[in-house]
Amino acid sequence: MSTNFNTGAMWAILLKFQIISMCNFFDTIISIMDTTAIFTTILSLVLIFLFAIQKFSHQIQLVAGERLKFILNKWTDTPLKGILSGAFVTSIIQSSTAASVILVSLVNAELIPSFNAISVVIGANIGSTVTAQLIALNMTFIAPIVVIIGFIIAHTHSRFRRYGKSIFYFGVMFLTLFLIRTLVEPLKDSLEVVAFLHSLSNPYAAILVGAIITIILQSSSVLTGLVLILASQGLVDLPAAIGFMLGAAIGSPITAVIASTSASIEAKKVAMANVLFNLIGAAIFIPIIWPLITLLKFTSDAPAQQIVNAHFIFNIGGAVIAFIFFKQFEKLVRKTTVALYKK
């Protein structure tokens, strides 16, 4: 009787352990499925964000393209005017890549000299900081309202109808970031995700990863937006974020380079100016990453704002240096382009 009782108790304990093991196994599977679903959804939203940026830039060019070209053509006769024009145009179309591609086409069509266009490239990098500032200020919460307003305006018969699509896609850009921010929050509880992101705490590894991602997506704004969201959730620390930012800067000129492949030698100088500006800027800032991190911690308590400040310092600092040494920079661009593309 006692033996039967002990045997039954043993089997009961084994069954209990099997049930617990099965439950843990299914919890693990569900956790993996949940994490996979989150990542695939985030990837989908990133692609929508990229699409929205392209469509927004396209709509702005349709609505105000001639005016923007007029500004670029008439207000670039001095380096200072060119930098200010580039900053203004890029802040409007929300894409330094699009601004660079426009410049390549204008120079290729001989509507603007390459000398003037180089200063606009410098200014375009300043204008690219606007998107990051809007994300850091948490303007994403108004995105649904902007989408609705844009949709309504686009389907009215008023004289403002032509602006509706631009407003709509602008709203979609920030709506996707709002949704990504919501989806990222649960990832703080994923040990695997946290471990992977912490493995990129080395800023030099993050530079490489950031450059590769930007080259693949052909947009630095996408990576900047993602890094700001991850930082706000505590998933990316400041050294890694700055590394990603520098990597994005290194990879961002790829679209302009592609756009200039069949263009004239003068148009190629525009793409080369973009490449050299970002490479020189990165070369200046990489050795001072750690002192910069110390400085940034005094600028704000919010991680996302610290990253935006780093982005601002990088682009403004690079623009000031390029402006001071503009003649030397233009000469370097000209000689490098001729050396690479001479027949």
DSSP structure string for 172-236: HHHHHHHHHHHHHGGGGG-HHHHHHHHTT-SHHHHHHHHHHHHHHHT-HHHHHHHHHHHHHTTSS
Position with higher pLDDT, 337 vs 32? 337
Q: What angle do CA 163, 63, 214 make, to 5 degrees?
A: 95
The percentage of the chain sitting over the pLDDT mark of 70, rounded to a whole number, equals 75
Lowest mean pLDDT among 31-35, 238-242, 287-291: 31-35
In sequence order, the 6+-apart residues with CB closer than 8 A to the CB of 244 are: 206, 207, 209, 210, 223, 227, 236
Give the dihedral of Cα atoms 330, 335, 337, 340; nearest 10 deg. -160
Residue 32, pLDDT above cutoff 50: no
Does the structure show a pLDDT above 50 at 229?
yes
Q: What is the pTM of this model?
A: 0.70
Q: Judge contact between 147 and 307, C-beta under 8 A.
A: no
Over residues 38-59, the mean pLDDT reads: 76
Q: Measured between alpha carbons, how far is residue 252 from residues 8, 218, 222, 255, 341 in Å?
A: 68, 6, 11, 7, 21
Q: What's the pLDDT score for residue 14?
A: 45
DSSP 283-327: HHHGGGHHHHHHHHTTT-SSHHHHHHHHHHHHHHHHHHHHHHTHH
Judge residue 324's burial from the number of C-beta atoms within 10 Å of its C-beta, 0-12 exposed, 13-18 middle, 19 or more buried.
exposed
Distance CA 126, CA 187 (A): 33
pLDDT tens-place string over residues 182-228: 776 666 666 666 677 677 778 888 888 888 888 877 677 777 878 88
pLDDT for the residue numbered 25: 40
Question: What's the pLDDT tens digit per position in 308-342?
Answer: 888 888 888 888 999 999 999 999 999 998 888 77
CB 61 within 8 A of CB 68: yes
pLDDT at 19: 42
Rounded Cα distance, 139 and 293, in Å: 25
Residue 22 has pLDDT above 60, yes or no: no
